[in-house]
Amino acid sequence: MSLIQRDLNCLWHPCAQMKDYEVFKPLIIKRARGSIIELSDGRKIIDAIASWWCKSLGHNHPQLKKALLQQLDKFEHVLLANTTYETIVQLSEKLTALMPSLKKVFYASDGSSAVEIAMKMSLHTRQIKGETNRKKFIALSNSYHGETIGALSVSDMGLYRDPYKELLFDVAFLAPLPYVLTRNDPLWGNCQQHWDILKKQLDLLAHETTAILVEPIVQGAGGMRLYSQDLLKRLRDWTKQHGIHLIADEIMTGIGRTGKMLACEYANIEPDFLCLAKGLTSGWLPLSAVLTSDEIYYLFYDEYDTGKAFLHSHTHCGNALAVSIALATLQVMEQEHICRYVSELEPLMFRYMSEIAEHTGKLENVRSMGAIVAADFIVRDPQQRVGFEVYKSAVKLGALLRPLGNTIYWFPPLNIEFSTLQELKEITQKSIEMVKF
Amino acid sequence: MSLIQRDLNCLWHPCAQMKDYEVFKPLIIKRARGSIIELSDGRKIIDAIASWWCKSLGHNHPQLKKALLQQLDKFEHVLLANTTYETIVQLSEKLTALMPSLKKVFYASDGSSAVEIAMKMSLHTRQIKGETNRKKFIALSNSYHGETIGALSVSDMGLYRDPYKELLFDVAFLAPLPYVLTRNDPLWGNCQQHWDILKKQLDLLAHETTAILVEPIVQGAGGMRLYSQDLLKRLRDWTKQHGIHLIADEIMTGIGRTGKMLACEYANIEPDFLCLAKGLTSGWLPLSAVLTSDEIYYLFYDEYDTGKAFLHSHTHCGNALAVSIALATLQVMEQEHICRYVSELEPLMFRYMSEIAEHTGKLENVRSMGAIVAADFIVRDPQQRVGFEVYKSAVKLGALLRPLGNTIYWFPPLNIEFSTLQELKEITQKSIEMVKF
């Protein structure tokens, strides 16, 4: 039996209508190097979305491999309760150096868990402080924070949440957001008009709210949409005034993706909780982190019998193999000046996508931030799955693009070579031209 | 600055009152081999709880290491949407061979996510089938299924859930359970009296319930308590009669821990959903799996525009490094006849713990199943943290025991040597004798 048939007999793939696999068979992966995935039939395809936004340093980076091998000689994983080791201390020091006020790190494996840990910590502080009326969360409209029940509750995506709405708790979603296409939009610097509307919504909720969640600057699954940094500044000011926490979900934007280590830096703000995952290990292994302040940490710090401890546990909290890769990732980010390179990629990626839009006449709303560029297909027949058609065409031509509905985007490894980007441009353009719409 | 001080400056450890670390400093891990963890000061301590119940084949198993190195030469991780590879197909084939009716595997990273995926799938089938009145979950009293909001909702542990109760959805917990100490208890074979009470609770909920969750045979975080296999049989019959799903959370019990590959085998039942994690990779890397039937799978299988797809996504779904370790784990389980070895460990572990109970007069309710043995401290002063005191003593003497409250237990690597077990017995006995209670 063929490997594909064996796969379809037993494997339920993520985020898929499995019937689609009848017409779009799974690609058989043989090797991956840098920005290139090699298939068993010898074809090479560009990993244009960094394997779901995580492989920030590409595949098989030698320094990451070396770090993993070194850790393998020591130990792979020991529970982190009452233990420590050099590598995790070094990683934690580097993470807490990202922002002056974020002094403590709590580890988990996936992004959803990180979001839920931050939310649990926020709510728990209200118990400890006797502010038991503060139990609501606010999120942005069009947000995505993950797919476990807590993370899904604060995600404003009907497609992902509707079948499970019976289990979700009630959350307020803020709209309209001051979306921009680039940082040249005047809204980027000042979103006063939007704020006037949003502030009214916020003020009504202030007394009962424990935290606001944001994907800073770029909303990922919501269609790679960028919004004004000024909104973040205003939200930070408003939350501080009202004693409300700000949770920054930088799972997708963090560790260099936007050209800065953290997207929050564009607004020059520091959240109360910061969530990292994906790029944290350059997509090698599952690892997530929640950073928070000493102020929060010491609320939980007391005699055991006061019952204030944060008792969340997670088997692979601080997994040593994942931690070794994360530390090496942060080292490579510095040594290879990745953020500087991303700032060179940004105008190139924007220009390439704009040229495709102009040449094909099939794209609108070209937008970019760091090593992310996106645009929307101009679709006439809403029944047509243009994104899916382009996806299939692109794979044939040599690129693993995977549009979000009718939004096409590039989210490549941060160290993708210019020549590969040039190739990606040509493949993308041809893929769009191959599809009639 | 010392490593310990540096650790305490930036690391928030899991499941801990961090103030406890003032008197019980974190151990600095240097290496780990087999059942032994080596500290930086040269001490060697026995990993008596398999690093939170996951390191089933001990540390640094050469065959697992070899599998990881082989995978490293190919690729570390490529998104699993529309891709496949030989190793994951082999793993999925081995997993779907565990039980005849469980034919499909969906992957995630941690146990909580696996539980939430099973719950989401169950609820989603009700939407698809138009059974929208079936939206409730039932769980067992004293249950533990994880700590994200969905998993915590079905966990009956006040200590872990109370601070977050505002976010939890409503779940019915069944009590009383037919607990036993060993399989020799008559209750093990017949729990009719308990069932008569439980069935009344169940019948009232039947029409509105989508699924019942169980930790089959052994409840872990609830104090390593064993219950009658007959309850599982009856629950399986009852759920089938009423068209309700049975979700078996074998995150802790699965992959050989109880002396069979799955604890469900003791009751000769097959659930609709089976959750695995922890021992699945022998605790090397985060990986979890949800197994389900073709019947469930094909409910979701239809044209894309019907909106039936299960769109849950997870970045590291099918992470190749973790998958390579999981496949090697299953191979080693067979080649080294681990389940047979566990059946030899069981009476030895039970005898040793019983001897300690007899010798010290400080333990009651010695109970065992496979490579798990537990007992409760006979505590006079409920304010005294006996478990914590014994934990500290044991570390000094050379074993990483970590009692659950006032329950002491061994949950060692499944391939622990008899001589190490003998040593663990002596350390445990002395540790108990060192604490006045």
Report chain A's C-alpha Rg in angstroms.
22
- Structural domains of chain B ordered from first start: 3-60+338-434 (3.90.1150.10), 75-335 (3.40.640.10)
- Residue pair B148/A168 in contact by the 8 Å Cβ criterion: no
- Residue pair A320/A71 in contact by the 8 Å Cβ criterion: yes
- The whole-chain average pLDDT of chain B stands at 97
Residue B36 confidence (pLDDT):
98
pLDDT band at B187, cuts 50/70/90?
very high
Residue A109 confidence (pLDDT):
96
CA distances from B342 to A244, B333, B346, B371, B417 (A): 52, 11, 6, 6, 11
Chains A & B: contacts with CB separation below 8 Å: 400
pLDDT band at B192, cuts 50/70/90?
very high
Q: How far is B84 from chain A (nearest CA, A)?
A: 5
- Residue pair B226/B266 in contact by the 8 Å Cβ criterion: no
Contact A79 B51 (CB under 8 A): yes
Residue B147 confidence (pLDDT):
96
Q: What is the DSSP string of A153-211?
A: HT---HHHHGGGGGGPPP-EEE----EESSTTSHHHH--HHHHHHHHHHHHHHGGGEEE
ipTM above 0.85, yes or no: yes
| pLDDT (tens digit per residue) in B349-378 | 999 999 999 999 999 999 999 999 999 999
Q: Report helix, strand or coil for A408.
A: strand
- Residue pair A255/A279 in contact by the 8 Å Cβ criterion: yes
Structure token digits, residue A205: 């909720």
Q: Which of B78, B110, B395 sits opposite A32 (nearest CB)?
A: B78
| pLDDT (tens digit per residue) in B257-299 | 999 999 999 999 999 999 999 999 999 999 999 999 999 999 9
Residue B138 confidence (pLDDT):
98
Q: Which of B227, B26, B152, B328 is nearest to A151 (CA)?
A: B152
| pLDDT (tens digit per residue) in A349-375 | 999 999 999 999 999 999 999 999 999
B112 CB neighbours in chain A (<8 A) are 113, 148, 314
Contact A103 B278 (CB under 8 A): no
Contact A167 B148 (CB under 8 A): no
Query: Cα(A235)–Cα(A266) distance, rounded to whole angstroms?
Result: 14
B95 CB neighbours in chain A (<8 A) are 10
Query: Cα(B245)–Cα(B231) distance, rounded to whole angstroms?
Result: 15
The ranges of chain A with pLDDT < 70 are none
Q: H or E element: which one contains A31?
A: strand A27-33
Q: Give the residue on B whose Cα is nearest the Cα of A15.
A: B311
Query: Cα(A289)–Cα(A96) distance, rounded to whole angstroms?
Result: 11
Query: Cα(B76)–Cα(A328) distance, rounded to whole angstroms?
Result: 15
Q: Which residues contact A337 (CB under 8 A, 6 or more apart)?
A: none
| pLDDT (tens digit per residue) in B111-151 | 999 999 999 999 999 999 999 999 999 999 999 999 999 99
Token match 């928070």: residue? A292
Contact B76 A32 (CB under 8 A): yes
Residue A344 confidence (pLDDT):
98
A93 CB neighbours in chain B (<8 A) are 6, 9-10
Exposed, middle or buried: residue A42 (CB in 10 Å: 0-12, 13-18, 19+)?
A: exposed
| pLDDT (tens digit per residue) in B64-105 | 999 999 999 999 999 999 999 999 999 999 999 999 999 999
Contact B311 A93 (CB under 8 A): no
Contact B79 A51 (CB under 8 A): yes
Q: Which of B84, B107, B292 sits opposite A3 (nearest CB)?
A: B84
Q: Give the residue on A whose Cα is nearest the Cα of B76.
A: A284
CA distances from B86 to A51, A66, B83 (A): 18, 25, 11
Residue B389 confidence (pLDDT):
97
Q: Give the residue on A whose Cα is nearest the Cα of B133.
A: A166
Q: Which of B111, B144, B113, B420 is nearest to B281 (CA)?
A: B111
Query: Cα(B249)–Cα(A164) distance, rounded to whole angstroms?
Result: 20
Mutation pick from B72, B76, B107, B330 vs chain A, by most beta carbons of A within 10 Å, is B76
Strands (E), B101-217: 104-108, 136-140, 172-174, 179-180, 209-214
Token match 């992902």: residue? A160
A308 CB neighbours in chain B (<8 A) are 17
Mutation pick from A11, A65, A102 vs chain B, by most beta carbons of B within 10 Å, is A11
Q: Which of A17, A277, A322 sits opposite B309 (nearest CB)?
A: A17
Residue B15 confidence (pLDDT):
94
Q: Give the residue on A whose Cα is nearest the Cα of B322.
A: A285
| pLDDT (tens digit per residue) in A315-353 | 999 999 999 999 999 999 999 999 999 999 999 999 999
Contact B105 A10 (CB under 8 A): yes
Contact A10 B164 (CB under 8 A): no
Checking phi first, is residue B278 left (phi over 0); if not, alpha (psi -120 to 50) or beta? Answer: left
Report chain B's C-alpha Rg in angstroms.
22
Contact B303 A112 (CB under 8 A): no
Mutation pick from A45, A110, A123, A171 vs chain B, by most beta carbons of B within 10 Å, is A110
What percent of chain B shows pLDDT beyond 90? Answer: 99
